[in-house]
Chains A and B, each alone.
Chain A
Amino acid sequence: MADGPVAEVLLQRLEAADGGLDSAELAAELGVEHQTVVGAVKSLQALGEIIEAELRSTKRWELTTEGEEIAREGSHEARVFRSVPPEGLPQSELMRLPSGKVGFSKAMSNKWIRVDKSAADGPRVFRVVDSVEDEVQRRLQLVQGGQAEKLGEKERSELRKRKLLTEVNLKTYWVSKGSAFSTSISKQETELSPEMISSGSWRDRPFKPYNFSAHGVLPDSGHLHPLLKVRTQFRQIFLEMGFTEMPTDSYIESSFWNFDALFQPQQHPARDQHDTFFLRDPAQAQQLPMDYVHRVKRTHSQGGYGSQGYKYNWKLDEARKNLLRTHTTSASARALYRLAQKKPFTAAKYFSIDRVFRNETLDATHLAEFHQIEGVVADHGLTLGHLMGVLREFFTKLGITQLRFKPTYNPYTEPSMEVFSYHQGLKKWVEVGNSGIFRPEMLLPMGLPENVSVIAWGLSLERPTMIKYGINNIRELVGHKVNLQMVYDSPLCRLDAERGPPSTQEAA
C-alpha cells in the first residue's frame, strides 16, 4: 500500500505543502474514501521516519439521510405548500401526500397555508402567501457544500433537533514531513530470495521489519502420548538402576498366578466379581505347573515353611479361573518362579510397567484400566533397610528426596510399607507408592532358597503423570476421550525437573 498511488500523491502534496496536510481534506480533494488515505498514512508510517502523523479529532456537521433527501427535494413544509393549488385542496387529500403529515403543521406555523373548516366537502387547505423561501433546504445545502460554519449555532441546533443534521467526530491525521522524508519510496522486501543473493541486489533493498512478538509457524510434527512419555522415563530410571524388564505381554492370567501363588487366600474379598474381571471365554486355565500347585495348596490349607497357613479348603477349580490381571505382581511371581528353577541361585533385579484391570467404581481419577509400575529385588539377606534405600534412590531420580514410611497391609508382603513424600505445592505428605517384603509362604513353595529375601514396590503410572501435567480428570489423559490438543502441547517429560508455573499443581 505504501507504494500505492494515494501514498505517492500524499508524499507529493506534502512536499509542496506548508507544514502539513489533513487526511480528511486530502481525501475530499482526491475524491477517495478517507479510509484509503488513512491506510496510506499507516503504511508510510511503517516504513520509518518518512512522515509524521498526528491523530486529530475534528467535529464535522453532516446531513442525515433525511437531511439529504430534503436538500434534494425540499423541506416537507415547502412541498406541502407547492402541492396546494390556488383553488385549495381537501385536507384529507393533503394528508395522504408523502410529505403531508410532517409538513402540514410546519407549513401552518410558518403561516404559509390556512385551513377552512367550513368548506362544503370537508376542511380545505388554501395558500396564504403566493410563494415561499425554503430556508431549511437552503441551510442544508450549505452544510452539504461544506459551509456549515455559515449557519448560526441556533440554526444548526434546530436542524439537529429535526434530525436533519448530525455532528460527526472525525479522526483525521495531520501529516507532516518526517526526518527521512522523500517523495520516492521504494517497495519494502520481506524475504531474501535466491535472485537477490546471486545479483547482490539485497544490499540496496530495504527490508520490512520482522514482527518478533508474533508466533512463528509450528512445525508439522507428530506427538507422543504424555502418559507414555512418563513411562519411557520410568523405564529409563529402572534401567539406570540395573533392573531387567520382565515380560508382561499377557493381560489374561489365571487366578493361580494372580492370587494363589501370591499367598492371597481364595476367600479374599479382592477375588470377588466386584473387584476382578473374570472371563467367560476362555473361562479356565488348562495348564498349571502341578508340582508347584500342590505345594501352594498345602501352604494355603495346612501351612508349612514355618507358617500356620490359612486353614481352609483350597480348591483347584477356583485357582483355574481366568481373569484380567489385577496387578503385574502376577508377572513378578512368574519371573521369580523361573528364577527359582535356575540353580544355583543368582540375584536378580526386575521391573515392569504395564496395564492392569480392576472392576471397581469409576470416577474422575479411577478407570477400569490403568498402568502399574513394579520393581523387585531378589537376593540373600535383604532387609527392610535395603528396601528403603532402594526406594530412596528410585524416588530421588524422580526429584523426590523427602520420604517417610508408614506401616500398611498387603496379603502377600510382610512387613509392608506405604511410601510418602512431601508435596511442595499442596504443603502435605502424599502417598507415592506401596512396598514390602514378599512373604515366605509365597517364595518358599517356588523353590527359592530360604535366606533369599525379595523386596518389592509399586505405584501407578497415571497418578504421577496427572500431577506432573496438571490433569484432573483421568479420562482426558487415558482412553479415546483424550484431549488431543493436550497431547499436541504437552512438554518433554522431565521427571526430576520442576514443572513451569505451579498454578496447575494439583493432586490426582
Chain B
Amino acid sequence: MYKRVIPNGEIQKLIITEETAKIRPYAVVAVLRNIKFTKDRYESFIELQEKLHQNICRKRALVAIGTHDLDTLSGPFTYTAKKPSDIKFKPLNKTKEYTACELMNIYKTDNHLKHYLHIIENKPLYPVIYDSNGVVLSMPPVINGHHSKITVNTRNIFIECTGTDFTKAKIVLDIIVTTFSEYCENQFTVEAAEVVFPNGKLHTFPELAYRKEMVRADLINKKVGIRETPENLAKLLTRMCLKSEVIGDGNQIEIEIPPTRADIIHACDIIEDAAIAYGYNNIQMTLPKTYTIANQFPLNKLTELLRHDMAAAGFTEALTFALCSQEDIADKLGLDISATKAVLISNPKTAEFQVARTTLLPGLLKTIAANRKMPLPLKLFEISDIVIKDSSRDVGARNYRHLCAVYYNKNPGFEIIHGLLDRIMQLLDVPPGEKKGGYVIRASEGPAFFPGRCAEIFARGQSIGKLGVLHPDVITKFELTMPCSCVEINIEPFL
C-alpha cells in the first residue's frame, strides 16, 4: 500500500510563475525521504528515468524528470521561464558555469542530449527551476544543475516533473515514487510536496490515487472464454497485484487499482490481467460459429488471374519498391516532377524515399540493371499499385493498379511487347478494333520513347496506357546498354 505522508516539519513547495505557461506549463513534485541507495539501486534509478523519458514522456517533449539531492538545496523552489542569456549555471558533470545559449551550442554535439534541444531552442524564454538561494536545479527538459546531483550517498530526493501534459506528468511522478519508495526508511511512503500554480491554486503531490473498479465475473469469463468462479477470478486478479474481492450479489468483483497501474483505463485492461493470471496457454481453443461466405476483392482477383498468364507468356515477375527518388519517375523519363502529380514525402532520410511511384517502369529497369549478368533476353513484368494525387479522394491521393512489362535484348522487340499486349487483351476478352468495348493502338509520342516507336492504347473508351521502344536517353540514365521495349497499362477499366 503506497502512502503519501505530510511531513512533520516544513512541506516542500514549488511555485510556478506565469512565464512558463507558453512553453512548459505543468510541474509536479514529491520527496523521497531517507532513501538508501546501493550501486545497483542508484543505476536503476537513473535507468528508470531514461526509460520513462523515451516512451511515456515521448522523448522528454511531454514530460521531463529532474531528481535532486534535497540536502544540497533549500526551498521553496521557483519554476519560471527566462531569456536564455539570463540563465547561467554549472550543469551536470561540467566544471564551470555557462549561459543557456552557450549550453545549447555545447550540447549540439552531445550524442545523448542533442535530440532534446529542439523542444526549447527557438523559444524566447527557457524553463528553469531555482531554489531559494538562486541555485539552478535544472533547465528542463535539457539538463540538471551539477549542484544538486544525486549520488549513491544521497538520502533525500526532491523530484520535479515538468511538461506539457499534466496527466502524463502525474503518472510519471507516481511511477518513480512508487518504484523507489521501497528503499525509503519508512517503506512505501512518499513525502508530500506542494505546487502553487500561477492562478494561486495549491496542489499537493504525488496523487498516488487508488480507485475502485467493478467488473462482473461473468463478463471476464465471457470475454476470455473460461469458466471460473468469482472467488477464483478475484484470486487471479489479486495475484496480478490488483487486490480484488467478491461483493454484492456474488457476481461482482471489486478491484482496487493502485497508482502503479495508470494503464488500466477500461474493464478490458482488467480482463487481460485475469487472462494472464489464468495463463493464456490454459485457455481452451474453440472455433467461433461465425458463418460467412468469402469474397475476393475483384481487383486482386483479376490481378491473380493475369499474373499467372503473364508468366505463361514467358515473362518473369518482379516486385519493386513503391517509394523511389524524384529522378526515377521524372528526370530519368524526360519529365518534370510537377507534371507527374506524384505524392511527395516529407523529410525523407535518403533520396530513395522522396516520392511514391507514379509508374512501374523505373522499378523494372532498375531490376534489369541489377541483374546485368543474366542471359538475354530479359522479360520482366509487374502488376502492382502506383500512387497519384487525386483531390476527389478523402486523403487527396489514390492508387491505380498497373501492369507493366519490359523486353530487354540486343533488339528492342517492339513486336514482342506489342504481341504481349494483344495477348493480354485477348485474355481480358477485349477484341481488337474500334467497335465498342474493343481496343486500338494509335501512334503517339512521349519523352521516354524512341520517336516513331511509341503508341497509345485505347480500350473501353479511354486511354489505358502506352507501349513503345524506350528512348536511348532513358536506357542510359538507368545504366542499361541494350535496346528495350515496354508496355504499361491501367487494368482497373477491365474490372
Contact = CB atoms under 8 A, between A and B. Distances in A.
B318 A480 contact: yes
Contact of B265 (A309, A369, A382, A480): A309
Contacts of A242: 290-294
Contacts of A285: 394-396
A220 B314 contact: yes
Contact of A388 (B168, B285, B367): B285
Contact of A250 (B275, B304, B363, B399): B399
Contacts of A469: none
A234 to B, nearest CB: 12
A395 B287 CA distance: 14
B224 A238 contact: no
A198 B168 CA distance: 93
A207 interface: no
Contacts of A311: 167
Interface in A454-508: 477-485, 487-488
Nearest to B270: A414
A482 B295 contact: no
Interface string B276-302: 100011011111111111111101100
B191 to A, nearest CB: 26
Interface stretch (B41-49, B93-101, B154-162, B344-352): B344-352
A383 B387 CA distance: 39
A179 interface: no
Given A228-B319, A269-B55, A479-B319, A322 B287 contact: no
B311 A221 contact: yes
B266 A307 contact: yes
A128 interface: no
B401 interface: yes
Contacts of A367: 321
Interface in A228-260: 228, 232, 235, 238-239, 241-254
B80 to A, nearest CB: 23
Interface stretch (A58-66, A70-78, A134-142, A404-412): A404-412
Given A252-B356, A437-B223, A439-B268, A385 B379 contact: no
A246 B297 contact: yes
Interface size class of B (residues with CB under 8 A): 35 or more
Interface in B438-452: none
A89 interface: no
A303 interface: yes
A392 B283 CA distance: 13
B319 A269 contact: no
Contacts, number: 274
Nearest to A282: B396
B385 A249 contact: yes
A405 B387 contact: no
Contacts of B320: 479-480
A275 B291 CA distance: 38
Given A414-B272, A482-B319, A251 B307 contact: no
Contacts of A344: none
B166 to A, nearest CB: 8
B366 interface: yes
B222 interface: yes
A239 B319 contact: no
B20 to A, nearest CB: 17
B108 to A, nearest CB: 19
Interface string B299-330: 11000100110111111111111110000000
B321 A479 contact: yes
Nearest to A451: B222
Contact of A281 (B275, B284, B317, B389): B389
A222 B275 contact: no
Interface string A299-310: 000010111111
A385 B285 CA distance: 5
Nearest to B365: A480
Contact of B294 (A244, A305, A307, A385): A244
Contact of B280 (A251, A392, A406, A480): A406
Given A253-B395, A308-B265, A407-B276, A239 B288 contact: no
A453 B290 CA distance: 12
B304 A235 contact: yes
Interface stretch (B32-40, B124-132, B368-376): B368-376
Interface residues of A, number: 100
A312 B165 contact: yes
Contacts of A404: 281
A286 B280 contact: no
A343 interface: no
Contacts of B367: 480, 482, 484
Contact of B371 (A273, A287, A484): A484
A239 B294 CA distance: 6
A470 to B, nearest CB: 18
Contacts of B378: 484
Interface in B120-164: none
A324 B306 CA distance: 27
Nearest to A313: B165
B453 interface: no
Interface stretch (A103-111, A181-189, A347-355): A347-355
Given A238-B294, A267-B168, A269-B58, A281 B311 contact: no
A386 interface: yes
Contacts of B385: 249, 251, 355
Nearest to B224: A384
B266 A440 contact: yes
Given A383-B224, A479-B319, A251 B387 contact: yes
Contacts of A485: 374
Contacts of A405: 280-281
B490 to A, nearest CB: 12
Contact of B292 (A348, A381, A439, A478): A348
A176 interface: no
Interface in B250-275: 265-269, 271-272, 275
6 contacts: A225-B317, A322-B396, A349-B290, A367-B321, A384-B223, A437-B268
Interface of B: 54-55, 58-59, 62, 165, 167-168, 222-226, 265-269, 271-272, 275-276, 280-281, 283-297, 299-300, 304, 307-308, 310-323, 343-349, 352-353, 356, 363, 366-367, 369-371, 374, 378-379, 381, 385, 387, 389, 391, 393-399, 401
Given A228-B307, A347-B292, A383-B222, 5 more contacts: A250-B399, A324-B345, A405-B281, A417-B280, A440-B267
7 A-B pairs with least C-beta separation: A385-B225, A383-B225, A282-B396, A480-B366, A222-B311, A415-B272, A287-B394
